[in-house]
Amino acid sequence: MAREHVIGRVGDLPEGHHRVVRAANRELGVFNIRGSFHALPNLCPHQRGPLCEGGVSGTIDYGPHTDWKLAWIWEGEVVTCPWHSLEFHIPTGQCVAFNDIRLRTYEVRVAEGELRVVI
Ligand code: FES
């Protein structure tokens, strides 16, 4: 059964910032994207690199959603693995380069000034 685990105070993670925390014997990256909180495993599926220690920005992509033109998308929503630069869309866990790779995402709740991840 899933439980809430306190991972810090809301004020410790301003918009546009992220950090790595431990909860329920796991390392997670917690991200504040425009006031919305998200969490991913701090474990890259490529070679187990510390994914969430990477930088956050956007990415270049194209497809039906960009009218088949190269475009900068998801600004502030993409974390780049510091080892070999695989990119992941933080809110969904989707790997940008490989459609068949998607990370588990964890719900982050705000209550009584605390951030609580649900595991
Ligand atoms: S370990 Fe993350 S891209 Fe290689």
Q: What local confidence, expressed as pLDDT, does residue 62 receive?
A: 87
DSSP state of 92: T
Residue 25 CA to ligand 1 center (angstroms) comes to 22
Mutating to test ligand 1, I would choose from 44, 78, 95, 96 the residue with most ligand atoms within 8 A of its C-beta, which is 44
pLDDT of residue 3: 97
58/63 Cα distance (integer angstroms): 16
Long-range Cβ contact pairs of 83-90 (< 8 A, separation 24 or more):
83/44, 83/46, 83/47, 83/49, 83/50, 84/46, 84/47, 84/49, 86/44, 86/46, 86/51, 87/59, 88/40, 88/51, 90/31, 90/33, 90/38, 90/40, 90/56
Q: Which two tokens stand for residue 107?
A: 């719900």
49 CB near ligand 1 (under 6 Å): yes
Average pLDDT of the chain?
A: 97
Domains and their CATH numbers in the chain: 4-118 (2.102.10.10)
Tally helices (H) and strands (E) across the chain: 0, 9
Asked if residue 39 has its Cβ within 6 Å of ligand 1, the reply is no
Predicted confidence at residue 5, as pLDDT, reads: 98
Half-sphere exposure of 58 (CA within 13 A, CB side): 8
Tens of pLDDT, residues 12-46: 999 999 999 999 999 999 999 999 999 999 999 99
